[in-house]
Amino acid sequence: MPAITCTSLTKIFDKNPVVDDITFEVEEGAIAGIVGDDGAGKTTLLKLLTGLLRPTSGTCTLFDTDVTRNPARGLKGVGCLVGEPAFYEEFTAQKNLELFAALAQVDSDGVTDLLGITFKSTRVRYLTPAMKKLLGIAVAFLAEPKLLILDEPLNLNASAQGLVKKLLKEQKEKGNTILFTTGIPADVKELATYGVVLKEGKAVSQGAPKTLDFKGVNP
Amino acid sequence: MNVYRVTRFEVSKLFRQRIAHAGFIVVFLVCCVYCVINWMTRPVGSYSGVMIITDNISFQNSLLILPFLAILVAANSVSGELSSGTLRTLLTRPVKRDNVIVGKFLAEFLYMCLVVYGIALLSFLFAIRWGFPEDFISFIPRLLLICLVYVLINMILAAFTFVVASQSTSIALTAFASLGFYMISMLVEFFNKIQTYMFLNNAQTLFQMLMGGPFELRSTYFSVGVILIYTLGLLLIASVLWEKRDIRS
């Protein structure tokens, strides 16, 4: 059964198609990578997949639930990091984690250990973008999701990037599904079992990473 | 995720935010200043302990401190979170959008209750100087209801703010629009034909009745009904608008 199904997904902002007629499927247990330059429509696509945006046309389903109609039900068992990570800046990283953990009725200690978060007592205001990204990934990992939707999770320093790659591989071994975006084709080649190349909102190439045509995407 | 969990999330967030702390400080400072001025200018016997409690809340409402606080907290919790992106983080959890709005509303209701009942309690401590009438104990339930009506008036403004915030990411714009709504509501009260249906006029009716004025069951039901219709109606509109809104930030 496919974990993610996008059918003719289109989003138009002010007469400008930001996501243009995209169709793809991600099987359960796969790692799918969406690659494209800045402005290619990667984040918009993830916002459509998580119900933050309503498509102009087309549908997207997560495990048989149409997220455009019922995002709350569709996102059950899904961990998301969409767009730039945003947290309550007045609170510490730990407090933010606790808030979201309480919402999901889980414990936050597991993910802080998993991601090696050492800045728990630092206020989010003082975190670097990479630290915020790591915190965003930690929030996505709360409640042990069976599907992870992550926006540029590898946009980190080398050591954190290595850790996240290892975690993603572990998730795949557990049988969980992952969809991530990146601007670097090498990330898709290394991690993904399925890839989609986006250019100006269109899926110009999709399939197994080896068969993808990355022409036009910055290496 | 049900309303209870979202409300708990919103409460634990709101009560730790600087805006909420600042609101408490301003309101309680104004309350103390009002009481101290009265302490110095009104000798014992010239004022009633009950009056200083109700006058203090009424004074803060007339000075727009309570309405402004309610509007600001509501604007911050929706427009502010929309522009900072934290609302996006919340909405990528399996949570219904209308539950988020209701959760935010209930959290603010709790906050405004603390503020208004806090003013009443602080004023009560000062009010001991002037003493209380013999039937004060029997007046306490009425006093608590008066406070509740003040809370509800301000929650109507909060609900209106949620409606505006569903279309705007600017806290300033949302706050000004909601203050404008409050001003217009006050002006409209001068027009006899429609004042019956205005929430402020009906709140006034309830205040008069609770302060010992003539009790009419029909007008009480009507006034309570109008206030509830405003609150729930605006909340419903906000939920519908939120359901349709694209989260672009």
HEC secondary structure over B190-223: CCHHHHCCCHHHHHHHHHHHHCCCCCCHHHHHHH
Q: How many degrees, rounded to 5, is the angle at CA B87 between CA B81 and CA B89?
A: 130
Answer yes or no: do A52 and B13 touch at CB < 8 A: no
Residues of chain B with pLDDT under 70: 1
Written as six digits, the tokens of A57 are 């046309």
Residue B188 has which token pair?
A: 């409209």
* pLDDT computed for residue A142 by the predictor: 92
| Residues whose CB is less than 8 angstroms from the CB of residue B193 and which lie 6 or more positions away in sequence, other chains included | none
* Amino acid at position B230, single letter: Y
Q: What is the mean pLDDT of chain B?
A: 92
- Structure confidence by residue, pLDDT tens digits, B106-118: 999 999 999 999 9
Residues 6+ apart with CB under 8 A from A185: A35, A197, A212, A214, A217, A219
B224 touches chain A (CB under 8 A): no
Residues of B in contact with A80 (CB under 8 A): 92-93
Say how far apart CA A40 and CA B212 lie, in whole Å: 68
**pLDDT (tens digit, 9 = 90+) per residue, A147-169?**
999 999 998 888 889 999 999 99
- CA angle centred on A89, ends A85 and A94, rounded to 5°: 80
As a whole number of angstroms, the distance between CA A135 and CA B245 comes to 27
Cα nearest neighbour of B99 on chain A: A72
Q: pLDDT tens for residues B17-37? A: 999 999 999 999 999 999 999
Q: By CA distance, what is A51's nearest residue in B?
A: B92
pLDDT at position B48 is 83
Tokens matching residue A76: 């059950």
Q: How far apart are alpha carbons A166 and B137 in whole angstroms?
A: 68
- Whether the CB-CB separation of A77 and A147 falls below 8 Å is answered with yes
Q: A173 and A142 in contact (C-beta within 8 Å)?
A: no
Contacting residues of A for B102, CB less than 8 Å apart: none
Which residue, among A56, A76, A57, has the nearest Cα to A7 in the 3D structure? A57
- Which residues of A fall below an 8 Å CB-CB distance to B? 47, 50-54, 71-78, 80-91, 95, 99-100, 102-105, 136, 139
Give the span between the Cα atoms of A138 and B211, in whole angstroms.
Answer: 55
Give B-chain residues touching A74 at CB under 8 angstroms: 94
Which of A88, A105, A124, A147 is the best substitution to test chain B (most B C-beta atoms within 10 A)? A88
Return per-residue pLDDT of chain A as tens, 219 residues: 899 999 999 999 999 999 999 999 999 999 999 999 999 999 999 999 999 999 999 999 999 899 999 999 999 999 999 999 999 999 999 999 999 999 998 988 888 888 888 999 999 999 999 999 999 999 999 988 999 999 999 988 888 899 999 999 999 999 999 999 999 999 999 999 999 999 999 999 999 999 988 876 776
pTM of the model: 0.93
